[in-house]
Amino acid sequence: MVQPLLLGHIIIFALSAIACVAAIPQARKIQHPGTREGFVVFLGSVALWSGGYIGYLLAPTRSGKVAFYILGFVFAFIAVGAWLYFCAAYTGRPPRHAPFRKLILGTFLFFTVLKVTNPLHNLYFTAEWVTEPFPHLVIRHELLYWIVLGLSYAAIAVGFFVLMERFYHTGSDSRPLVVLVGLSGLPAVATIIGGQVDWLLPLMYEPPGVALFAVGTLFFYRQRFEGIRLTGESDKPAIFLDQETCVRDYNQAARRLFPALEESFGKPLTAVNTALADHLTKQDVLAITQNDETRYYDVSSTPFVAGEVTTGQLVTVTDVTERESYRKRLEEKTEQLEALNRVVRHDIRNDMAVILGWAEILEEHIDEDGEEALERVLQKSRHVIQLTEVARDFVESLSEDEDAELKPIELQPLLDAELAAVRDSFPDAQFQVSGDLPDVSVLANEMLSSVFRNILENAVRHNDKEVPEITISCEEDSDTIRVRIADNGPGIPDNQKDQIFGKGKKGLDSPGSGIGLYLVHLLTQQFGGKVWVKDNDPNGSVFVVELPKVG
């Protein structure tokens, strides 16, 4: 009877130690760093805890037994800290950011020192050698032991609580892990009553429960264990799928969004929601209607990898209803803007061209008193036609993608063409070129002409001199070229030099549309260049357009 009792205790703790050590390689495969670290240290400390008890039972001398018992005693305390670390990390509470970390560590070290030095003060336990029911060292726990044990159990209970909370927020597939966690706590009963039962020694019997939990979670319910962590760490609807895209777990948010998940464990995702399954490989949003309300969701998938093998995936569903509604409003406004552009380009432009044509015919049939009025009609007609061109270019610039398709554009013929056009439109103005226009190409597209046309026309329209004088010159370096367009107008105050390129800014009491220079700004940005204005000498302004060269 004596040897079987001793042997039974040795076997229990030996199996516990072996199970924890065997589970460590599996724990090291856990992807989440905090969970992995906490679980590995937890298993290692429990293995050493069990080893200390085995040494206590087998050591032939009193001093050896006390030393091994203290060893197990210390690692039992370490296991409590590792358990809390593991539970916090697993449930999304970063343990490294826990409050009062230094105080907790200091308290842990203080009690550890008291345990190691117990032979000097006997505050934790006293020991007495007895021969019944077999020769062994009887440990009698003192008050400090029970105080520390109570505090340890309180800390362990916190870990149990956060685990159960996480299990609650996942699908029904968490039940096996709930059972494992519950069973792992049962040996605590043996710890508490060990001193009152003849066939139990006054030891802590938690290692077998830990071994059961480790083997169960890492060898039998590994995917569920990892899946619950993944699905539970986000407030967004999350579903864990296996290799065959069958449902293995989900959180409560996902169940509320997809009620069919309730009875879906082991079923393919297509049986839950065909549209959701289809959107695993689609880029567009998923529309879901509930209670006569339609909301929109982005569906993303994160692979779950063991080694180099993909064993599952985490599907996360993000509500993007506000973003999608805003996108739809933008699409509607863009369609309206394009419709307006068609009206401006076709109807208004065509009608104004007819008006201009008839007005030009009247030039030969009107007397001297009406010449000034007719000239104003002609000027305004040409200006309205020019505005339709600006509006067209403006809408086209807004319709371009963020990364507009650019290509080499020869700068000299483009500037020559724009100069010819403005000379025809403004015969009373003087346009000249200072130096030679360089034979270079810049990175842009066909709308580059609109940049220079708007600046040149702007320089005439805002000029207060009887004869507007516009001078074009160029400066270049190895990477860029700067086109300078100088005028002899009133100039632009310093506090408006940046503002004039903003949407709706019209400069100095301008009768214009307010979009010409804004269009210049948008286009030069698309070309990878920039535009700015500075003072001319002795008066007027200089608009500088800098563009990247090609070749």
Whole-angstrom distance, CA of residue 479 vs CA of residue 477: 6
The whole-angstrom separation of Cα 440 and Cα 486 is 21
Least confident range from 408-422, 436-450, 498-512: namely 498-512
pLDDT classification of 387: cutoffs 50, 70, 90: low
> Do 282 and 266 form a contact (C-beta atoms < 8 A)?
no
Of 45-59, 194-208, 422-436, 460-474, the range with the lowest mean pLDDT is: 194-208
- Three-state SS sequence of 216-282: HHHHHCHHHHHHHHHHHCCCCCEEEEECCCEEEEEEHHHHHHCHHHHHCCCCEHHHHCHHHHHCCCC
Of 120-129, 479-488, 533-542, the one with minimum mean pLDDT is 120-129
Q: How far apart are CA 393 and CA 446, in angstroms?
A: 10
Q: What pLDDT band is residue 396 in, cutting at 50, 70 and 90?
A: low
Per residue in 179-237, pLDDT tens? Answer: 777 777 777 777 777 666 666 776 777 788 888 777 777 766 666 666 666 665 556 78
Q: Which residues pair with 454 in a beta bridge?
A: none
Tell me the three-class secondary structure of 313-327, residue by residue: EEEEEEECHHHHHHH
Nearest C-alpha neighbor of 407 from the set 521, 519, 527: 527
Cα–Cα nearest to 204, from 75, 112, 98, 366: 75
Q: Per-residue pLDDT averaged across 490-519, rounded?
A: 66
Q: Residues 10-29: what's their mean pLDDT?
A: 87
Based on its alpha-carbon atoms, the radius of gyration of the chain, rounded to whole angstroms, reads 41
Residues contacting residue 473 through CB under 8 Å, at least 6 positions apart: 433, 434, 435, 483, 484, 486
Q: Give CA–CA dist 271/474, Å, rounded.
A: 68
Q: Which domains does the chain have, with CATH numbers?
A: 4-225 (1.20.1070), 234-323 (3.30.450.20), 404-548 (3.30.565.10)
- Return left, alpha or beta for 450; rule: phi > 0 is left, psi -120 to 50 is alpha, else beta: alpha
Q: What tokens appear for 256 in the block?
A: 């509320």
Q: How much is the average pLDDT of 510-519?
A: 59
pLDDT of residue 199: 65
Average pLDDT rounded to a whole number, residues 113-128: 85
Q: What is the pLDDT of residues 59-92, one digit of tens each?
A: 888 888 888 988 988 888 888 888 888 888 877 7
Tens digit of each residue's pLDDT (9 = 90 or more) over 321-342:
888 888 888 877 777 667 666 6
Note the residue count of the chain. 551
Confidence class for position 358, pLDDT limits 50, 70, 90: confident
The Cα–Cα gap between 227 and 229 comes to: 5
The angle subtended at Cα 211 by Cα 208 and Cα 213, nearest 5°, is 110
On average, the pLDDT of the chain sits at 80
pLDDT-above-90 percentage for the chain: 11
> Cα separation of 113 and 109, whole Å?
6
According to the model, what pLDDT value does residue 8 have? 81
Q: What pLDDT is attached to residue 484? A: 95
Biggest CA-to-CA distance, the chain: 139
> Which two structure tokens, joined as six digits, stand for 273?
């929601």
pTM: 0.48
First to last CA, the chain: 96
The pLDDT value given to residue 293: 85
Q: Which helix (H) or strand (E) holds 368?
A: helix 368-399
pLDDT, tens digit (0-9, with 9 covering 90-100), for 153-179: 888 788 778 777 777 666 555 667 667
538 preceded by a cis bond (ω within 30 of 0):
yes
pLDDT band at 291 (very low <50, low <70, confident <90, very high): confident
Distances (CA, A) of 195 to 2, 189, 208, 239, 268: 17, 11, 18, 48, 53
- The residues, any chain, with a CB within 8 Å of residue 461's CB and separated by 6 or more, are 510, 512
pLDDT for res 247 = 84
